[in-house]
Chain A
Amino acid sequence: MAFLDNSGDIILDAVLTDVGRKRMAAGNFKITKFAFGDDEIDYGLYNKTHPSGSAYYDLQILQTPVLEAFTQANANINYGLLTYARTDLLYLPTIKQNITGIGVAALGTPLYLADNSAGATLGTLTSTALADDSIVATQILISGDPSTLFILFETGLDTADLSPTSENQSTYITKMGLLDSNFTISYDNRLIGTINYANSAVFRTSATGTTCAVSAWASGTGAVRSRDLAGYNTETILAHVSAVFSDVTGVTAAIANAASALAGPKGAYQMIVPKILSPIPDTLFASLGKVNQSLGGSNLYNYIDTSIYIVGQATNVTLQIPLRIIKLVSV
């Protein structure tokens, strides 16, 4: 009878992050929870057709070299392992920006957010000047003003395997606990003051077409410091349930999918317009961005590039939207 091999005992040495050292210096270092990350893993290497059998499906994944720990915020755990109660999930929702509707912002690289912190006129002037400089109108948001353009995003299943029916929404999303009732939005708290969002809205398809309308807007309240991103604030806003279905009279799957960013059953959605923290001083434009820049025409702008992050609270899916906060300096 041989001895048992106990060499597999796992003890890991942890290193403090920058925040950990800061908390230790301040005397409020207290660990209360843990999470797991798998940022190095490319699940695309999982080979379900390996000729040697199932024991070899993850051979390449298990050979993935793992990097040493580093210490900045969110170190190595940008994506984490998730717990879902059910083990029979075959599809997981994704989140996408919808660019198909009227009044809906395009997928901009970047998406311009005109600064109106010194008055609505400035925002309009900036928007007009950008249009003069051949920036596509659907890439120009005005800070905190949803009347011309807003960002629409959706969660759901982006697969052609499943039709976008109400039944599939119920089966694959709602009953699986994957329907978001809230989104958290994180933004640079030096630049953005709050998020304006649709407090009451409708997004549906019918025989007469697609309706994407907001009946009431609200501003986010209760912003707190982001737990994951240094210098960011996080706000929680509500989510709306999509009614873009193909199993409605006069609506086909093609029509429903044309109205949506997702190819399969839809889940939740929301519309937002970030509102700039007023006023952003020119010194901040100089230190974080660029000043007196031309975008191809004679107009000069100050601008700062930043990103906002949207996370579905039930699905844990994340959408990053690059934004260019821009202010007209001279015409």
Chain B
Amino acid sequence: MAKSYQPLNVNTDVTTTRTLLHEVIPLTGTIISGTYGVFPDEENIKNYTHGQFQSVYDYPYLSSSANHIFDLTLGIQSGSSLSASTNTQMAKKANMYNEYAQLLLGYDKAQNIEAFESDVNVADDDNQMQDCFFISLSRLLTKDQIKKGTFSIELGQGAFDNAHLSTITLTDTGSSETAGFALGRPGGDYAVLYDSTASLSTQIPTSSYGVIFYQAGVVVLSSSVFNTASGGGVITDFASGAITQTGAAPDTGPGRDASYMIATSSISGTCDALRHRIKNISFNNSTEINSTIYFCRMPVNQFNYSSNPTYTNASKIVVKNVASDLPVSYVTTIGLYNASNELLATAKLSEPLRKDPTNELTLRVRLDY
């Protein structure tokens, strides 16, 4: 319990820093579809009785080792041409669209919920995406936010049985930490996702098929991404007949494109079809670490003795032969205390450090928040 305390001067001994850490997060399509069972009933896919969204895990979700990766759902704006009361789960699809839109975009001047657009100006009401897929990435993966300019998603545009024969990669590479994104929306910063092969002049709006909200970790994809020229035109078998409405007869053939499926199929069934076409998702996450660094100084004339019971033998300091020998001590631990001498944080050295009156040490102790 015996020790000497040294006060910290907040002006000279304490400083704060901010550091951004980034991790590369690759999500392969094999995890999303087909690895843990037979499509569409994989054990790592969790559907709910409410039927509003589908959760994707990195391992069978009944296992305690499973981590939640993202949720999938879709929505239809009430003003969409696909909106019809006869649609399967139409109310839920409209609710999902509105929930995401009001949370991420907010309201317009008339207090109507904004609509998603495949550009970064929602006020002009052009390029609207009225039937969309939503991918809500887990905070476990995105951490504080997705790093701007690093997101890409590769989607299969082939026939259902060979969906990845041709693919389209949507990226946000036009966005960076300083430019290329919109801000000021309730959902935070967001940018457009466009065909990575598109020329600069045609990226927006011709080749843009969605937006990404960096802090919220939400990707909004227009169903039109499966109706592209690069994919050979409209995909008429977006889903297999087997995964349309439960109990319904196989529903394939011309006109069975993504928009059609969004309107007529269940949310979970349509999400299954989307999972089947996700080949890769990749992004870098960001973790903001705010640190306080305490400069713990050991001046020449301090901390040269120890209260360690082994420091003396019969009251004589064991590291000395005569009084004129220099006292020596070895530090292994640093304790940070409050004014009441309560130990609030502790840091360890990797090896003992010698201290005597001939040397002076400054140990920087970092506390991350």
Contact = CB atoms under 8 A, between A and B. Distances in A.
Given A33-B339, A91-B315, 7 more contacts: A33-B8, A37-B331, A37-B333, A39-B333, A62-B330, A75-B346, A161-B316
A31 B327 contact: no
Contact of B336 (A31, A66, A78, A186): A31
Interface residues of B, number: 77
Contact of A12 (B3, B349, B357): B349
Contacts of A31: 8, 14, 292, 294, 336-338, 344-345, 367
Nearest to A42: B310
A40 interface: yes
B47 to A, nearest CB: 38
A19 B336 CA distance: 11
Interface stretch (A82-90, A115-123, A204-212): A82-90
Of A12, A58, A79, A228, chain B has the most CB atoms within 10 Å of the CB of A12
Contacts of B308: 38-39, 41, 43, 79
Interface stretch (A124-132, A284-292, A309-317): A309-317
Majority SS at the chain A contact face: loop
A80 B335 CA distance: 10
Contact of A69 (B292, B318, B333): B333
17 contacts: A14-B334, A19-B343, A19-B344, A23-B344, A33-B336, A33-B338, A38-B333, A43-B308, A43-B319, A57-B319, A61-B330, A69-B348, A77-B343, A79-B308, A81-B3, A161-B316, A263-B314
B342 A15 contact: no
Contacts of B346: 14-15, 17, 69-71, 75-77
Interface string A122-161: 0000000000000000000000000000000000111111
Interface in B166-209: none
A188 to B, nearest CB: 15
B270 interface: no
B316 to A, nearest CB: 5
B54 to A, nearest CB: 36
A245 to B, nearest CB: 17
A38 B331 contact: yes
Interface of B: 1-8, 14, 292-294, 296, 298, 301-355, 357, 361, 363-368
B343 A66 contact: no
A81 B317 contact: no
Contacts of A229: 1
Contacts of A190: none
A84 B305 contact: yes
A264 B315 CA distance: 9
A74 interface: yes
B339 A19 contact: no
Interface string A44-71: 1010100000000110011110111111
What 3 A-B pairs have minimum CB-CB distances, sorted nearest first?
A: A80-B3, A316-B2, A227-B341
A202 interface: no
Contacts of B339: 30, 32-33
Contact of B1 (A30, A61, A311): A311
Interface of A: 10-17, 19-20, 23, 28-44, 46, 48, 57-58, 61-64, 66-71, 73-85, 87-94, 156-161, 186, 225, 227-229, 263-264, 309, 311, 315-318
A93 B365 contact: no
Nearest to B308: A79
A286 B355 CA distance: 48
Most chain B CB within a 10 A radius of its CB, from A46, A58, A159, A318: A46
A91 B321 CA distance: 11
Please indicate which of the listed interface residues A12, A34, A264 has the most CB atoms of chain B within 10 Å of its own CB: A34
A34 B296 contact: yes
A11 B1 contact: no
B320 A14 contact: no
B7 A29 contact: no
Contacts of A46: 318-319, 328
A48 B322 CA distance: 12
A84 B2 CA distance: 13
A79 B53 CA distance: 57
Given A83-B4, A83-B305, A88-B323, A40 B344 contact: no
Contacts of A92: 305, 311-312, 315, 317
Most buried by A among B315, B332, B357: B315
A83 B304 contact: yes
Contacts of B342: 19, 23, 227
A35 B304 CA distance: 12
A34 B109 CA distance: 56
Given A33-B7, A43-B308, A80-B2, A23 B338 contact: yes
